[in-house]
Amino acid sequence: MKEHGFNIRVYGLLLDEGSVLVSDEFQLGVKMTKFPGGGLHYGEGTRECLQRECSEEMGQKVTVLDHFYTTDYFQPTRFLPVQMQLISIYYFIAAEKPYRFRISAKKFDFPDLVEGALSFRWINLDTLTPRDMTLPVDKKVAELLKRLI
């Protein structure tokens, strides 16, 4: 019998002036728009993971605020070669201004499609739709964020 495990991901929702920050990335050969964050390492807490991920991706220290959402349905992982159940955890985060990361107005604003390329941009919460996001759980979170406004 094949063993199954869990893939735990932790994401940050940075809100500013009616917009939410998203990350446009090229990972595993796929262009994707997602919320900033990533995979939990063994021995990390979820808040510690999010702080590390934001530091690595954004070059910015963040404060992890309130929990927003944790996957409450079965979602298989999409990009791993083994079958695993995805658990995604979302927190609101805050960061000191001025922001240290470059913010673009253009989607996928990086020069080459090289593994790990990323750029950041704001999406206004008034216009945010699940279609703006690539990953299934991010689509759900976008829908839930819309209910806040």
Where in the chain are the domains?
A: 5-139
Q: CA-to-CA distance for 125 and 132, rounded, in angstroms?
A: 11
Q: Residue holding tokens 């020069």?
A: 111
Pairing, β 84-95 against β 5-16: parallel
CB–CB of 46/40 below 8 Å? Answer: yes
Residues in CB range of 13: below 8 A, 6 or more apart: 20, 21, 35, 68, 90, 91, 92, 93, 141, 145
pLDDT: which is higher, 83 or 23: 23
Q: What angle do CA 48, 76, 78 make, to 5 degrees?
A: 85
Answer yes or no: is pLDDT of 91 > 50: yes
User: What CATH homologous superfamily does 5-139 map to?
Assistant: Nucleoside Triphosphate Pyrophosphohydrolase (3.90.79.10)
Answer yes or no: is pLDDT of 77 > 90: no
Pick the range with the lowest mean pLDDT from 26-35, 93-102, 108-117: 108-117
Answer yes or no: is pLDDT of 1 > 50: no
Answer yes or no: is pLDDT of 80 > 80: no
The pLDDT > 90 percentage for the chain reads 81
